Amino acid sequence: MDKIIDINPESAVELLGFQNNNINMLTHIFPKLKIVVRGNEIKVSGADEEVEEFEKRILLLERHIDEFGKLTETDIINITAMEDDSFYALNSVDANVIVHGREGKIIKAITPNQKRLVESAENNDMVFVVGPAGTGKTYTAVALAVKALKNKQIRRIILTRPAVEAGENLGFLPGDLRDKLDPYLQPLYDALWDMMPMQKLMTLMEDKVIEIAPLAFMRGRTLDNAYVILDEAQNATSAQLKMFLTRMGKNAKFFITGDITQIDLPKNQQSGLILADRILSGVKGIDFIYMDNKDVVRHHLVTKIITRYEAYENEVEEAIRKRREAREAAKQSETSENAI
C-alpha cells in the first residue's frame, strides 16, 4: 500500500525536526515502512495495517504540536508507544489549563476571578472584564481565543484597541500609520507571542486568521465565526463601544476588557465601558467579571502600587465630598439668615 500524507504547513518544521531528525526516528520505530518526505508531504509504503498505524501516529504528533507548540524525542516515543489518545488524557489533568504556549508553556487560570472568566466564556457570548492592571484580563481572553482557534471552534481571532493617547501625541510619532499604531497594539502581540511559535503566528496573521487592528477599523464590519477582543475599553466612547458591540455576527464571542481607573479620554467624554455597565448589566448572554487587587499576577509591587493609589483617590474623593457638603451647608445658612 502506498499513501501520501499531507502535513499541516504550520507544524511541518516541528514535525519533521532539524535535518529530518524526527522522521529518521520514525523510520527506526516503523522499520517495515518506506518513508519519503517531499515538502509538506510524507509518502509511506508498506503493509496496509502498518501504513494506517503510521498515519494515525502522524495525526497524533501534529495534534501534540498544535496543543503544546513543540515535539521532543520523548514525545515521539510516548505517542508512538501508547494507544490512541491515552497520552493526552495523561497530559490534561489540570482543568485550569487553558492552552499550552510556546515551548510547552502552561497557560492557565490562576486566580478565582480568572477561573470565573473561563467559566463565563463557556456560558456567555459576550463578557465584560473590568479590573486594574496586571490581573490577566486580556491575557486570559487571548488564551481562550487561541484555544478556540486550535480546537477549530472559530475561524479567526480579532484583537482591537482604541488608539487613545496616554499623555503622548500620536501625530508626532515617527513612521506611517501602522508604525504609529503598533505601539498601542504591542500588548496584544506580546500575549500572542507567548502562546504560539513565531512562524505560525506570522503565517496566521498574513492569512488574516489573526487580525490586530485599531477600534476605528471595525466600523461597518460583521464579525462572524470569531473570537473578538476589545482591549483598553475604558478609552472607548459610548458611541465607539456601541459601534463595536453591534459588529457581533454568528458564532462569535466578544470579550471587552478595561480598567476604569486608567481612563485617558478627554474630561468632557464619558467612558463607554462605565456606561455599558449600567445599560447592559443583567442582559442574558452578557456577563460582567470584576477583578480586583487579589487577581494581580504581575510583580508583587504592582498590588501595593494599586492599593496605595486607590487609597489616595478615596482620600481625594472624601475631601471633595466634605468641601461640597460644607458649601451646601453655608448656602443653606445664608438662605436662612436672609429669610429672617
Q: How confident is the model at residue 23 (pLDDT cuts 50, 70, 90)?
A: confident
Element (H, E) at 213: strand 210-214
What pLDDT shows up at residue 183?
Answer: 67
What pLDDT shows up at residue 228?
Answer: 94
Number of Cβ within 10 Å of residue 302's Cβ equals: 16
Over residues 31-43, the pLDDT tens digits come to: 888 888 888 888 8
Residue 252 or 216, more confident: 252
Element (H, E) at 286: strand 286-290
Over residues 171-210, the pLDDT tens digits come to: 544 555 555 556 667 778 888 888 887 878 888 888 999 9
Q: How far apart are CA 23 and CA 96, in angstroms?
A: 34
What pLDDT shows up at residue 195?
Answer: 84
Q: What is the pTM of this model?
A: 0.63
For residues 314-339, average pLDDT: 76
User: Mean pLDDT, the chain, as a whole number?
Assistant: 81
Does position 294 have pLDDT exceeding 50, yes or no? yes
What pLDDT shows up at residue 319?
Answer: 83
* Beta-carbon contacts of residue 14 (< 8 Å; ≥ 6 apart): 65, 69, 70, 71, 197
What pLDDT shows up at residue 155?
Answer: 92
Q: Highest-confidence range of 58-72, 104-118, 162-176, 280-294, by mean pLDDT?
A: 280-294
Q: Which three cell numbers stand for residue 71?
A: 515535539
Q: How confident is the model at residue 89 (pLDDT cuts 50, 70, 90)?
A: very low
Residue 312 or 157, more confident: 157
Q: Provide the residue count of the chain.
A: 340
State the sign of the Cα–Cα–Cα–Cα dihedral 28, 32, 36, 40.
Answer: negative
What pLDDT shows up at residue 94?
Answer: 53
Contact between 138 and 187 (Cβ < 8 Å): yes
Provide φ and ψ at 105, rounded to 5°. -60, 130
